[in-house]
Structure 1
């Protein structure tokens, strides 16, 4: 680790605001940076000087400008030194741990996955420590670890409840910190994904933005004023209570017509199994629906209409500039995207602006990257959106 990288912390509030602005929106000229932050030229110089000296920021050539044409420092934009630190992000599922190493700007530079053979918290922490040690041998400048878990997380440290792992009140951050010696941030996986997309992805620069995920569960995150809106119930699986069709299918638990019963992969597979007696993968159900197999086609059509209804409801009430649809279940859009879009239009005012719906083909490494962004925000820049 370089001496400059080691001297980043602590940042003053003013230095932190400069660093975040350049990190998310840079490279930025000093004039633009001062305008965005409402600072005088003198104040900006005072705040940027220690950031440049500590190697967090660097002056870069202005795009389209030759070296001969650049006269003096003020014409050179500022950018972050993206590879000055590395960050670990882990996404824990029921049977796997997905790991990534990212730069300061959340670009993934390495992936490392391991099967999860136990849900015992100490053994899970041991596995995370082993993965950290393996990655640290190749990426020695690790600044911290972010961990994403499906469920309720308190204080970005304790997993209060995780139905997938059968955990209650597990101090996961402490367990991993004790084994790795690195600072650790734990967060609900959807919240972490929303933060990553707000800072570095589809929601970058937007004032109002929504992330909707479909897959093992239903996830929802709202961004207003460029910041994620935290809510006490956001980790509680609200999709079970968002009724889209009161006459819709049942989940194994008996919930009828909810977002969960219509859209989650397990519920779609359950419907096909109940009708045919066969275990069928989600991907195979999508292929059968395209081929015109009556039962898969009906289930996928119901799911598409449910998704369109859900997106329209979100657009009607949250009024976002963009909705990002992500998660393991987004293959639904490839098969029945037109049905989704038709349903959105039917459930919107005829004069309403079209919904900007972006679909992100993602895997569990994207969720792990979201956890790494939490580490960037909290551990390096001291920014906690929640």
Structure 2
């Protein structure tokens, strides 16, 4: 006859299973009981019992979603974590802006505030503005700082995993060599995670956007710099040192211009929005913006379409090599230049088809990102929402902030 397990062991198992459910709810935002059972490997009866306990504690709510069920019946009922379980902060430092959002654990954005900045902002200036915006966003969302389980932060440059330092190819030179996580964590009194902007764009598209149904994709950000974020097996892949995806510094012309990274002929020196503007300014004026370039191209201006097309072809050659190595299901194109739509995407697709091996290039879907300028700040919040190890709560009203 099997002996009964000690009550302590049963309690431990129950806590572990509860944690599994909470982790999946945080990753998914909205999810059905059946899908929770599939993802966790728990039985449906166990899931139902634990969900009932979490509902009684005020941590989980049922939400009806729009649309009929799979057989045309009642709308499906999905589960999400309640605001009592905490909120996440997303902070994005761009070349000319600082932006902050507050998201609940059901992935609903509760507040979104932004402030324009002077070009080449210093880190202390950016940090001061970010702290002020955090307080404003929390007030707008109607939540206290004690409700925050953690903050994600994006910077426009590579982050060294071993040191937390901003790498030498950062768009904001004054940030090179700094450790922004430590500074922002001290200022906010919160656990903070930091990633570069392209990785956060990938994470946002995985959580909210064009990559939600895709396990393997490459997110390409085309702006004043060019970078990519890699999602492999449903997880963000950053490489051994944290710089995986730095396609903007792939050499495409060995006799080309010297790049800010110190090498010559990098993709960024040919295809970034800065270079596009420089090529068109002699004909279109010194104050030309990338938004005006895109508008002219959409209206049929030959010069604008030509320059964007040339940039797209250069990007496509590099993306083709990435497809040969990683064989992603999708390439999602974001950043400022993605607003050009098919003016950018069509020549990019042509080059990928031409230069990638058929098994990789023939099956990859190349699509625009759907989150626009919000991608990076949403991705910063997603660092918290999807990082179930770094930011967790233990019991109703009790939150654990782990440094990381």
Corresponding position: 1:116 with 2:109: no
User: Partner of 2:153 in structure 1?
Assistant: 147
Corresponding position: 1:105 with 2:106: yes
For residues 308 and 152 of structure 1, what CA distance do their matches in structure 2 show?
A: 22
Contact 2:190 2:401 in 1 (8 A): no
Contact 1:289 1:296 in 2 (8 A): yes
User: Partner of 1:176 in structure 2?
Assistant: 184
**Change in CA separation of 1:300 and 1:197 when aligned onto 2, cut-off 3 Å:** closer
**Change in CA separation of 1:383 and 1:271 when aligned onto 2, cut-off 3 Å:** farther
User: Partner of 2:229 in structure 1?
Assistant: 221
Q: Deviations over 1:236-294 (max 9, x none)?
A: 883343234557x6366686653212221112222334788845322333444566666
Contact 1:159 1:172 in 2 (8 A): yes
User: Partner of 1:250 in structure 2?
Assistant: 257
For residues 18 and 241 of structure 1, what CA distance do their matches in structure 2 show?
A: 41
Q: Deviations over 1:309-328 (max 9, x none)?
A: 23333333211112111111
Contact 2:216 2:330 in 1 (8 A): yes
For structure 2, list consecutive stretches of 5 or more residues without a partner in the other structure: 1-13, 394-399
RMSD: 3.8
User: Partner of 2:199 in structure 1?
Assistant: 191
Q: Name whichever of 85-94 and 33-42 sits farther off.
A: 33-42
Give 1:25 shift.
Answer: 4.2
For residues 171 and 343 of structure 1, what CA distance do their matches in structure 2 show?
A: 38
**Change in CA separation of 1:256 and 1:295 when aligned onto 2, cut-off 3 Å:** farther
**Change in CA separation of 1:110 and 1:251 when aligned onto 2, cut-off 3 Å:** farther
Q: Secondary structure at the match of 1:94?
A: coil
User: Partner of 1:15 in structure 2?
Assistant: 18
Q: How many residues align?
A: 367
**Change in CA separation of 1:32 and 1:363 when aligned onto 2, cut-off 3 Å:** closer
Give 1:130 shift.
Answer: 1.4
Q: Deviations over 1:124-177 (max 9, x none)?
A: 322222112222223214413221111233569944334415124434334333
Aligned pairs for 1:267-346 (under 5 A) are 267-273=275-281, 278-289=286-297, 295-346=303-354
Report the TM-score, using the length of structure 2 for normalisation: 0.75
2:373 to 364, 369, 379: 364
For residues 59 and 80 of structure 2, what CA distance do their matches in structure 1 show?
A: 6
Report the TM-score, using the length of structure 1 for normalisation: 0.78
Q: Secondary structure at the match of 1:145?
A: strand
User: Partner of 2:43 in structure 1?
Assistant: 40
Give 1:209 shift.
Answer: 1.7
For structure 1, list consecutive stretches of 5 or more residues without a partner in the other structure: 1-10, 71-75
Give 1:120 shift.
Answer: 4.2
Q: Secondary structure at the match of 2:217?
A: strand
Q: Deviations over 1:49-75 (max 9, x none)?
A: 55334433234569858xxx99xxxxx
Contact 1:148 1:192 in 2 (8 A): yes
Contact 1:22 1:28 in 2 (8 A): yes
For residues 252 and 271 of structure 1, what CA distance do their matches in structure 2 show?
A: 16
Runs of 4+, deviation exceeding 6 Å: 274-277, 381-384
User: Partner of 1:137 in structure 2?
Assistant: 139
Contact 1:327 1:361 in 2 (8 A): no
User: Partner of 1:210 in structure 2?
Assistant: 218
**Change in CA separation of 1:45 and 1:171 when aligned onto 2, cut-off 3 Å:** same
